[in-house]
Structure 1
Amino acid sequence: MLGGNSRSRTYSRHLLSATAGTCASLVVLGLTAAPAASAEIPDFRPDQWALASIGAQDVWDSTQGQGITVALPGVSVDEEHPDLRDNVEIVTEFGDNGADDEQGTAAAGLVAGHGHGMDADGGVLGVAPEANVLVLPTEDDLAGAVRHATDEDAQVILLPEEIGDDGDLAEATAAAASGGALVVGPAGGNEDPNVLAVAGVDEDGALIPESPDAAEIDLVAPGADLRTAGQDLRQADVTGAPYAAAVVAGSAALLSAEYPQLGPDQVREALVEGSREGPGGLPSLHVGDAVAQASGTAEDISLIDEDLVQEQDSGVPVWVWFALVGVVIVLVVLLLVLWVRRSSADPYGVKAEREAEDAELAAARAEQARAEERPSRRKKGGRRRKTR
C-alpha cells in the first residue's frame, strides 16, 4: 500500500427500546406496543477529532464542497461503501478498480464522506461532504491519470504518494496547475512547486513519525488516528501523510465551492496564509481562518470575466444580436402560421368533396332542364292544318 498504515476498528451505538415499566403500562391499558427499534447505527463522529481541529464544521453552513470535483488518481475506492455511495465516480481507463482499495477508500472518506443511516446520522463525515470524488485507478500511469483529471476540470487533484524522480508526472502536475487545479500530495520526495506538500500531525499537534524535514513541508494537517471509511463497508483508523493530504484536499474543496472565482494559486495561498502556527513554526491547517483569508482575496476578483465582456463589447453591439434574433423569431412564427392555415384549410378534403358534389348536381340539373325543353319544341314545330 502506498504511504501510511491503518488499524481497523468497529464501534456500535445501540438505540434503547422502551423501558419495562412503559411496556407494562401499555399491557395494562390493553394497548399493543410497537416493536422497539433494535437497529445498530454506528456513529464514529465523536472520534473524528480532525474535523473539530481544523474547524471544518464551522463553515458547513455556507460551504460543504458542493459542485467541486476532487480527483484521486492512482488508487482504488470502494464505491459501494455506505459513507461514499453516490459521491464517487470511477474511471478505469488507466487501470482496474481493484480489491486493494484500503488507502483510496480511506482518502475518499476523509475528503467527501457523507455518513449514512436515517438523516445520515451514522458513519463518518469527510471535510467536504458534498464534494464529488473522481477515482482514476492506475499502477503505472499516474501522470496520465493526472492529465485526465485536468481534462475533466477537476478543481483539486490528490496525489497518493510523494513526488519521485518522474519527469512525466512533474509535467502533468504543471499542466494541472496551469489548467486550474490545485494539486495536493504528501510531503517528501522530490520538490515540485506545483504540488502543495502536506505532512501529518497527531492530536497533540506533533509531527507524526517519519515526517520529512520542515523545508519539504508546505502545510501540516491532522494525519494520525483519523477515523474514516474502511474496507468491507467498515470504518478504519488511518495514519500517514497521504491522509493528511486528503484532509487538505477536502479543505480546498470547501474554499473552491465558496469562492469559485479563485484560482488554484489563490486557494493554495489562502490555505497556507490562513493557517495557524504548528510544530516548529510550520503552518497548520485551519479551515475557518483559510475561508476568512480567501474572502479577502475574493473581494477584489469579479465572478464575471471582464476580458470576455470587453471582447464582446468591441464586436457587434448586443442590441444588434437581439434584433436579429427577434427577426428570426418573427419569420419562424409567420411561416408556422401559414403552414397551419394551409394544413387546416381542408384537412379532411370535405371542401373538395362538396365542390365535386355541387358540380355533379349542377350537371344533373342542366341535363334535366334540357330534357324538359325537347317535347315543347316538337309541339311548337307541328304541322298546321290548311284552311279549305
Structure 2
Amino acid sequence: MLGGNSRNRTHKRHVLGATAGACAALTVMGLAAVPAAADDVPDFRPEQWALASIGAQETWESTRGQGVTVAMLGVSVDEDHPDLRDNLEIDTEFGGNGNDTEQGTAAGGLIAGHGHGMDADGGVLGVAPDANLLVLPGDGELADAIGHAVDAGAQVVLLPDEVGDDEGRSEATDAAVRSGTLVVAPAGGEEDPNVLAVGGVDENGELIPDSPETSSIGLLAPGADLYTAGEDMGQTQVTGTRYAAATTAGAAALLGAEYPQLDPQQLRTALVEGSQQGAEGLPSLHVPSAAAQASGEAQDIPLVDEDLVEEDSPAVPVWFWFALVGVVLVLIILLLVLWVRRSSTDPYGVAAERREEDEKLAAERAEQARSEERPSRRKKGGRRRRK
C-alpha cells in the first residue's frame, strides 16, 4: 500500500484536443469575421508551486534530465497518459501493470512529466521532463527488483513507501550504490544508510501531516497539494512523502544528467549540502544551489575514469615498437624497389620494336654481303679473232 493521498479534483483531458469553429456574417460594408471559439486544454503548470519552490526551471536551460533513467519500483502507471507516454517504459519482470495506477501515475508525473506533447501547452511537467521513466510493477522481491533496475541502466531508483523488512534489501541497495545508482525513498521506512530518505513539506515550508520522525529524514522536498498526472488521462492533486521522494528523484536526474562523473554519494552530498534550511532545521531541496555544489564536486573529476582506462589498456613492451618500426621500413623498401622496377620497364614496347628493326637491318646487310661475295660467271664461246 503506497502512502500519500489525492484529492477528488481530477480534471479530464479533452482527448480530441481543441475544436475550433468560426462564424461569418455578411454586412453591407463587407465580410466581418467572428473570432474562433475553442475548448481550452487545461494547463496546470502555473499551479505547480513545487517546481518554483525548488528552482527546477532555473536549471532547464542546461539540463532537463536527458539521458538519465529513473526507476520506480512496486507501482503501476497509466501507460497511455499524455503527460508520460513519450518517455515511459514498463517492465513486467516482477508483475503486470495493474489497474490501480493512481499513485504511480502521480509520482511518475512529478518525476518526468512532459506535458501533452512537445508543441502543446496543456498538462503538467515533472522536475526532469526529458528523463526516462522505468516502471517495475509488482509486490515483493524488492531486492531483486533493485538489482534488475540497476542492470537495466537506472541511475536513480525510487523505492515504494512501505517495504517492510524485505530480506536482502540493504544488500541490494549497497550493491546499487557501488554500481553507480542513487537510491531514494520516502522517509519513515526501514533505516538504510544507502538510501536517501525524503520527508515532505507544504507550500509554506511546514512538515506535511503524518510526517515521520525528523531523525529519519535526510532531506525535505515539496509533498503537499502537488498538481500532477492523474487517472483517466487527467490531472490530480496529491499529498504525501511518496511524492516528496518522487520530486527529489527528479532533481537527482537533473544533476546526474549535468554531472555524470559524480558517484551516488557525491550526488547525494550535492542534494543535501546544496540545500536550504527547512522545517525543524532540516535541509530542504533547492536545485540551483545543489547544482552549484555538484559543479564544485565535479571540477576535479574527469568524465572518463583514467584508472579504468589504464586497467583496460595493457602496457605495450618496447621491443614491440622497435619490431613494428622495422616491419614498416622493410615494407617501404619493398615498395620502392617495385616502383623502380616498374618505372624502368618498357610499357609501350619501344625497345622491342627497336630490337626487331635492328635484327631486320642486320639480316638485310648479311644478305647483301653474301651476294657481293659470289663469283661472276663468264659467258662461254664468242667470236674468234682472225689472224
**2: CA distance between counterparts of 1:139 and 1:11?**
30
Q: State which drifts further: 257-266 or 35-44.
A: 35-44
Residue 240 of structure 1 corresponds to 240
Residue 151 of structure 2 corresponds to 151
**1: CA distance between counterparts of 2:27 and 2:52?**
43
Residue 360 of structure 1 corresponds to none
**2: CA distance between counterparts of 1:15 and 1:149?**
39
Letter in 1 for 2:169: L
- Consecutive unaligned residues of structure 2, counting only runs of 5 or more, are 332-387
Report the CA distance shift for 1:307/1:206 in structure 2 as closer, same or farther (over 3 A): same
Q: State which drifts further: 205-214 or 311-320.
A: 311-320
Q: Residues 163 and 192 of structure 1 are in contact (CA less than 8 Å); yes or no, is this contact kept in structure 2?
A: no
**2: CA distance between counterparts of 1:309 and 1:249?**
31
Give the CA deviation at 1:35: 7.7
Q: Secondary structure at the match of 2:236?
A: strand
Q: Residues 90 and 135 of structure 2 are in contact (CA less than 8 Å); yes or no, is this contact kept in structure 1?
A: yes
2:203 equivalent to 1:203: yes
Report the CA distance shift for 1:240/1:315 in structure 2 as closer, same or farther (over 3 A): same
Give the CA deviation at 1:152: 1.1
Residue 115 of structure 1 corresponds to 115
Q: Secondary structure at the match of 1:123?
A: coil
Superposed, 1:227-266 pairs within 5 Å as 227-266=227-266
Q: Secondary structure at the match of 2:97?
A: coil
Superposition CA RMSD, Å: 2.9
- Consecutive unaligned residues of structure 1, counting only runs of 5 or more, are 331-388
Q: Secondary structure at the match of 1:119?
A: coil
Report the CA distance shift for 1:164/1:28 in structure 2 as closer, same or farther (over 3 A): farther
Q: Secondary structure at the match of 1:86?
A: helix
Superposed, 1:11-50 pairs within 5 Å as 28-30=29-31, 33=33, 36=36, 38-50=38-50
Residue 9 of structure 1 corresponds to 10
**2: CA distance between counterparts of 1:312 and 1:190?**
39
Q: State which drifts further: 182-191 or 111-120.
A: 111-120
Residue 305 of structure 2 corresponds to 305
**1: CA distance between counterparts of 2:203 and 2:47?**
11
2:211 equivalent to 1:220: no
More helix by share: 1
Q: Residues 202 and 223 of structure 1 are in contact (CA less than 8 Å); yes or no, is this contact kept in structure 2?
A: yes
Residue 175 of structure 1 corresponds to 175
Give the CA deviation at 1:252: 0.1
Residue 134 of structure 1 corresponds to 134
Give the CA deviation at 1:120: 2.9
Give the CA deviation at 1:312: 5.6
**CA displacement, residues 228-287 of structure 1 (integer Å, 9 cap, x when unaligned):** 001110101010001000000000000000000001111100000000000010000000
Residue 190 of structure 2 corresponds to 190
Report the CA distance shift for 1:291/1:118 in structure 2 as closer, same or farther (over 3 A): closer
Identity over aligned pairs, percent: 64
Letter in 1 for 2:160: P
**1: CA distance between counterparts of 2:21 and 2:104?**
41
Report the CA distance shift for 1:99/1:18 in structure 2 as closer, same or farther (over 3 A): closer
Q: Secondary structure at the match of 1:300?
A: coil
**CA displacement, residues 282-314 of structure 1 (integer Å, 9 cap, x when unaligned):** 000000100000000000101121113333665
2:52 equivalent to 1:68: no
Structure 1 or 2, whichever has the larger Rg, is 2
Q: Residues 25 and 31 of structure 2 are in contact (CA less than 8 Å); yes or no, is this contact kept in structure 1?
A: no
Give the CA deviation at 1:159: 0.7
Give the CA deviation at 1:146: 1.1
Give the CA deviation at 1:172: 1.5
Report the CA distance shift for 1:26/1:271 in structure 2 as closer, same or farther (over 3 A): farther
Q: State which drifts further: 51-60 or 1-10.
A: 1-10
Q: Residues 138 and 145 of structure 1 are in contact (CA less than 8 Å); yes or no, is this contact kept in structure 2?
A: no
**2: CA distance between counterparts of 1:181 and 1:213?**
26
Q: Secondary structure at the match of 2:38?
A: coil
